Structure 1
Amino acid sequence: MAPHPPQSRPSTGPDPSAIDTSRRPFVLIWEVTQACDLACDHCRADAHPARHPDELTTSEGKHLLDQAREFGPGQLVVLSGGDPLTRPDLVELIEYGTSRGLRMTLTPSGTSSLTPETVHRLSDAGVTRLAVSLDGATPDTHDTFRGESGSFEQTVRAARAARDAGLPVQINTTVCAQTVDELPALRDLVDELGAVLWSVFFLVPIGRGRVLEPITPDRAETVMQWLSEVSDDAPFGVKTTEAPFYRRVAIQHRRDANETPTDDDIGRRLGITAGDGFAFVSHTGELYPSGFLPESAGTVRDGGLVERYRESELFQSLRDRDALRGKCGACEFRHVCGGSRSRAYAHTGDPLASDPLCAYVPDGYSGPLPEGRVSGD
């Protein structure tokens, strides 16, 4: 049988600088399932092998993709999990989203199902980028973290298959006390695999991640400075997830902090945070600002995605940087950073509180300080 002909897919999306994040998200994530064969230490979803009986059906999923198209042409949609490959209709959903003019990307788990043949089938269906996770630079460190022997080799094999198929590869890495020392070796591996982007996720303590030890604010600051230096020379892009103060560090690394920054010098739109340029639809159709901020703006099973993103009180409050409290509210970088609203919520129950991982103290600020810091630091 001849291979399935590649789908016509949007090659580029809208200009990031032209996106009004009060009207549309830069990134829309759909958690198509929570089923996964891995038992990763940091799993937000606390995933299990079995699929949930109330997952969105194929028909409901297509309706969701129709709603996503209402945001405008070239909307970026990330299919995540769990492991999306556990859904037998995954290729059908990708083909449908591609036919609707959406940029469909995928974050599969590094399991035995992620074969080179599967990667080519996903590419033919219209996937525009494959994002795989590497949390250690060796089979021992990665597989221990992921709870599955062989996950490292399967992930690396899939990344190479994607590269060979001409499918851009993104590498996702979780940063916590267990993984932080792996970062330099991982940087070299990301380069070796020919990835276009390294997305470095700083742990948020929800799901299984509650049992992991985060790094300290001062260590996070050091890592951010290192990542900023990596981004200067690396042949791939560098971004952080749930650590938007990387933008502040990158700006300080490149210019006088007293200037009013207009971009982050790393080729991406500033200020994307939970609910502001970012939205997440759960496997059962609940709309959240982020998968790490489980406050629902309502279900989108029967419609309302666009309206809820634009008009719900929850999302509107998260887009008001002047409503931030504590140190984040006093920070001159709040409009280009904004702090992790998910981490603030995980620690305090208040999504507008300060991000406890950020070590920066604005001049003249006299309120509560990050862990381990005192006035005058």
Structure 2
Amino acid sequence: MQDYTQDKNQLLSRAFPGCRRLIPEDIWRQLVATAESADDFADLLGNRAAGLELEPYLDELARMEFYIFNLATENISVQEYSETLSVNPTLQLFDNSWNNLACLINGASEDSAPEKTGELVMIWRHPVGGRIKAKKVENEDLLAMKIALEELSVHAVAKEGGIHVAAVESALIRALDEGVLIGPEPLIRRDWKPALYKDVDPSFFTARIFSLQWHITQACDLHCRHCYDRKQYSMLSLTQEIGILDDLAEFCNSHHVHGQVTFSGGNPLLHPNFTRLYQEAADRGFTTAILGNPATREEIEQLQAIQPLAFYQVSLEGLQEHNNYMRGMGHFQKVLSFLSLLRELGVFSMVMLTLTRDNMKQVLPLAERLRNKVDLFTFNRLSLVGEGANLSAVDPGEFPNFLRSYAAAVGTNPCLGIKDNLLNIVYHEQERTLFGGCTGFGCGAAFNFITVLADGTVHACRKFPSPLGNILNNSLDEIYHAEVTKRYRDGASECQACTIRPVCGGCLAVAHSHGLDIFRQKDPYCFIDFKDTDC
């Protein structure tokens, strides 16, 4: 009898860990003795909680914990992809009368104490990796599930709800990423075998979003000392430009991915038909963003009325004196004022810095200056292309310690973003979780993004000459699957055996800047310890 009670105690403790923590030891023993099985434990708590002066929400917590326990012990597998959009078959909804119970399951602090206000919680097993997740159901979760269950059109839902198509698409992408929905397999995926890269999460091998970085004009109201291309290109007609958006829409549809158009230049707002192109991109359901220079309130409000920007990125090259030397007098303060405007208008703001030998020591001080002023601040290393060839690149011997200092500062300054692929070497050294690198998938050149110039020329990456053809002569599908494009996608052969390759690959533009064979030789700044990897 004692062994049976002990076994039952162990079973119930495993099945209901949150309840176990919240119930005093003597009362827990009483409940264990009374319970006939784990199946009726939640009902037992519901009937006895008041008399035992226990928390009144324990029965609801127990029902969720028992479902999690069953998912874990039965080891139910979930198909990763399906031919049509569907709700994850393991997903179950719990209509609770108390809130914050999902927080208790996820180990939240005392600040998230349950309150009797009601909350809908969903629990499911993620199809990739099998992790069991619990979270409060948000409106966009309900929207995504409704679209899948009722087989609704994204455009019809957007029209009926008076919302932007991109917002509906984004809700679906998030639901697919979280494993709430299961859909067709995205065809933007690495050809590599995940088993060869044991330190990398399998999610880094497949992209659900494909980005077009579109340099629609070379016209610019600045003349920066590191500009990589001042060349003037012949402009396309508006019909040809709209045709590029149609081509992108067809590509994304056939590859089961969501499209993003990031307008750049030059200064994209100087394009004579910019507002029309922005509208056309929004009408096709693309997420829209801008890499540009400070704009007026009226310009931003006009764009926001068409479709809210995913982000607006501007550049700074260091603290005020150095930045104004690089970009022109008054530019630093103009950017700070513009960041304030973006915050006021609810636009996610980003600041990019081109890292050189002259401004490396200004990065962290600038980050402090930007604290609470920008949503994300990060850097790209200088590409010695165009006028940038006249500047000095960072000393490779100093770069590792700079990255270590930067990585440490990320934990204390919320605006600091992580982007440079080689930061993953630092994370690998420190046994921290690896992140997605430059584009979310390591070097994303010709993988999950592609660049189109004002004349239709396509490049793998804008930071260095990497021509793939012209979108007026070949479709995006033809260009993407061409052999030359695959070579850029694969990157340096020296990197292929490295255990962190899927989230790294270095920077092809930097390797090109140093005269290396980018298809064979790795980033000259790479400092990974060969003894700790399979490189």
Deviates more, 1:11-20 or 1:38-47: 11-20
Q: Distance in 2 between matches of 1:268 and 1:317?
A: 18
Query: Which residue number in structure 2 is paired with residue 301 of structure 1?
Result: 472
Q: Quick one: structure 1 residues 266 and 245, their matched pair in 2 at CA, closer, same or farther if it must change by over 3 Å?
A: closer
Q: Distance in 1 between matches of 2:439 and 2:449?
A: 14
Contact 2:440-2:503 within 8 A present in 1 as well: no
Q: Quick one: structure 1 residues 7 and 91, their matched pair in 2 at CA, closer, same or farther if it must change by over 3 Å?
A: farther
Contact 1:134-1:152 within 8 A present in 2 as well: yes
RMSD: 2.9
Contact 1:32-1:79 within 8 A present in 2 as well: yes
Query: Which residue number in structure 2 is paired with residue 219 of structure 1?
Result: 398
Query: Which residue number in structure 1 is paired with residue 383 of structure 2?
Result: 204
Q: Secondary structure at the match of 2:479?
A: helix
| Residue pairs, 1:21-170, within 5 angstroms | 21=189, 26-46=210-230, 52=233, 54-70=234-250, 71-72=252-253, 74-110=258-294, 114-126=295-307, 127-138=309-320, 140-146=321-327, 148-170=328-350
1:337 deviation in Å?
0.7
Q: Quick one: structure 1 residues 9 and 167, their matched pair in 2 at CA, closer, same or farther if it must change by over 3 Å?
A: farther
Q: Distance in 2 between matches of 1:265 and 1:86?
A: 33
Please say if 1:339 is aligned against 2:339. no
Query: Which residue number in structure 2 is paired with residue 270 of structure 1?
Result: 441
Q: Distance in 1 between matches of 2:277 and 2:405?
A: 39
Please say if 1:251 is aligned against 2:428. yes
Q: Which amino acid aligns with 1:150?
A: G
1:151-174, CA deviations, whole angstroms, 9 ceiling, x for partnerless residues?
A: 122222221111111111111111
Q: Secondary structure at the match of 1:351?
A: coil
Structure 1, gaps ≥5 residues long:
1-5, 256-260, 368-377
Q: Quick one: structure 1 residues 294 and 265, their matched pair in 2 at CA, closer, same or farther if it must change by over 3 Å?
A: closer
Q: Distance in 2 between matches of 1:7 and 1:142?
A: 40
Greater RCO, CA 8 A, separation 6+? 1
Contact 2:220-2:266 within 8 A present in 1 as well: yes
Which one has a larger percent helix, Structure 1 or Structure 2? 2
Q: What TM-score do the two structures reach when normalised by structure 1? A: 0.81
Identity %: 22
Contact 2:216-2:265 within 8 A present in 1 as well: yes
Q: Quick one: structure 1 residues 21 and 282, their matched pair in 2 at CA, closer, same or farther if it must change by over 3 Å?
A: farther
Q: Which amino acid aligns with 1:207?
A: G
Contact 1:329-1:354 within 8 A present in 2 as well: no
Q: Distance in 1 between matches of 2:345 and 2:366?
A: 23
1:330 deviation in Å?
5.3
Q: Which amino acid aligns with 1:122?
A: L
Contact 2:218-2:266 within 8 A present in 1 as well: yes
Q: Distance in 2 between matches of 1:184 and 1:302?
A: 45
Q: Which amino acid aligns with 2:316?
A: L
Contact 1:244-1:338 within 8 A present in 2 as well: yes
Q: Quick one: structure 1 residues 175 and 44, their matched pair in 2 at CA, closer, same or farther if it must change by over 3 Å?
A: same
Contact 1:247-1:270 within 8 A present in 2 as well: no
Contact 1:120-1:161 within 8 A present in 2 as well: no
Contact 2:314-2:335 within 8 A present in 1 as well: yes
1:221 deviation in Å?
1.3
Query: Which residue number in structure 1 is paired with residue 140 of structure 2?
Result: none
Q: Which amino acid aligns with 1:313?
A: E
Q: Secondary structure at the match of 1:91?
A: helix
Q: Quick one: structure 1 residues 116 and 295, their matched pair in 2 at CA, closer, same or farther if it must change by over 3 Å?
A: same
1:117 deviation in Å?
2.4
1:167-197, CA deviations, whole angstroms, 9 ceiling, x for partnerless residues?
A: 11111111101211211222123323131x2
Q: Which amino acid aligns with 2:429?
A: Q
1:21 deviation in Å?
4.0
Query: Which residue number in structure 2 is paired with residue 258 of structure 1?
Result: none
Contact 2:508-2:523 within 8 A present in 1 as well: yes
1:320 deviation in Å?
2.8
Contact 1:67-1:303 within 8 A present in 2 as well: no
Match of 2:528 among 360, 363, 367: 360
Q: Quick one: structure 1 residues 101 and 239, their matched pair in 2 at CA, closer, same or farther if it must change by over 3 Å?
A: same
Q: Distance in 1 between matches of 2:438 and 2:430?
A: 15
Structure 2, gaps ≥5 residues long:
1-161, 178-184, 191-205
Q: Which amino acid aligns with 2:349?
A: V
Please say if 1:315 is aligned against 2:523. no
Q: Quick one: structure 1 residues 200 and 21, their matched pair in 2 at CA, closer, same or farther if it must change by over 3 Å?
A: farther
Pairs aligned (count): 339
Q: What TM-score do the two structures reach when normalised by structure 2? A: 0.58
Q: Distance in 1 between matches of 2:397 and 2:405?
A: 13
1:349 deviation in Å?
5.4
